Structure 1
Amino acid sequence: MSESADKPKKRKPSPADIVGWRELVSLPELGLDGIPAKIDTGARTSSLHAEVIEDFERDGERYVRFCVDWGGERHTCEAIHVDIRGITSSNGETQRRYVIKTPLTIGSFTFRAEISLADRSDMKFPMLIGRSSLRRRFVVDSGHSWLQTPGMEPVKGHKP
């Protein structure tokens, strides 16, 4: 057997595997579509701008009801929450946040992702996609935008 047969084959990422530094994403089980998201490999956990309204129990499961605002529209959502965790933000402050697990769609890929609910009102993007959601799924091209966003022309260049 040749030496090369023993090594795992590396494959070059296809264009379908590459995301830009910003994309429009969807959370289909929550009825949220076209969410502007920043792709951030420096963040471990994905986060969604949300105002938590209520923590409650239904059929023996813990749920959280929350509101998401963007584009002048308010969306009320409910999801099973999997945890309340201490999440360290980019400024080094640790906050206790609800974490939900729900399908996330980026381009033509849909997969279950853990998402923390956070106050992102001071941020440009209502959603941040962290490296746990990207791992083993996507390669990030930080020099481009909208590579996985149908209908958006891919943009090359630096962040505004």
Structure 2
Amino acid sequence: MSSKIVLGWREVAALPVLGIAAVRAKIDTGARSSALHVDAQWRYVDGGQPWVGFRLSPGVVGADVIEAAAPVFDERYVTDSGGHRTSRVFVQTVLSLAGTQREIEINLSDRRGMRFPMLLGRTAVTHLFTVDPSRSFLHGRARRRVSRT
């Protein structure tokens, strides 16, 4: 019997250290790394260390635009599903999901046009979770952000 927590192919996650209480996430075990959509990002130096500031919309009804900052953990090339290779900034932060917390690496990217602002790759879910691709939102549902025109 497995002691792993079952996730659906889409869930609502939180990144509490970054001030993100809820963000719609697609669980993608085909992707190695995790990605977080940012509308804008900027770099600066604080205490002699490189930092990145960023702004994002978490895609959840009632959630405001969030501005956050984190030390740059790494910068490396990532190949997206279309085969395009780009250099991305990575940060380390705490993922809160399904009643658990764990530190993960996330790259900051432009996921505009994607249905989910966050993609959780296999390195974020390994050893703790298993994914049932026929299920969704097993650990709570957040409504999609609705555009008001």
State whether TM-score is above 0.5: yes
For 2:137, which of 130, 135, 146 is the aligned residue? 146
Letter in 1 for 2:26: K
- Equivalent-residue separation in structure 2 for 1:49 and 1:55 (angstroms): 16
Q: Provide the TM-score with structure 2 as the length reference.
A: 0.87
1:100 is matched with which residue? Answer: 91
| 2:2 alignment partner in structure 1 | 12
Higher helix share: 1
1:10-159 correspondence runs (5 A): 11-13=1-3, 17-71=5-59, 73-149=64-140, 152=141
**Identity value in percent:** 36
Unpaired runs of at least 5, structure 2: 142-149
Secondary structure of the structure 1 residue equivalent to 2:128: coil
Amino acid at match of 1:29: V
Partners of 1:20 and 1:146 within 8 A in 2? yes
Tell me the SS of whatever aligns to 1:54. strand
Which whole-Å deviations, capped at 9, do the CAs of 1:107-151 have from their partners, x for residues lacking one? Answer: 1111110000010001000000000001111010111011122xx
SS of alignment partner, residue 32 of structure 2: coil
2: CA distance between counterparts of 1:140 and 1:53?
Answer: 31
* Cα offset, 1:13, TM superposition: 3.3
Runs (5+) with no aligned partner, structure 1: 1-10, 153-160
Take 2:91 and 2:71, find their aligned partners in 1: how far apart are those partners? 6
- Contact preservation (8 Å) 2:24, 2:58: no
93-102 or 68-77, larger mean C-alpha shift: 68-77
Flag the structure with larger Rg. 1
Q: Which runs of 4+ in 1 moved over 4 A?
A: none
- Report the 3-state secondary structure (helix = DSSP H, G, I; strand = E; otherwise coil) of the residue aligned with 1:29: helix
Give the structure-1-normalised TM-score.
0.81
Cα RMSD of the aligned pairs, angstroms, is 1.7
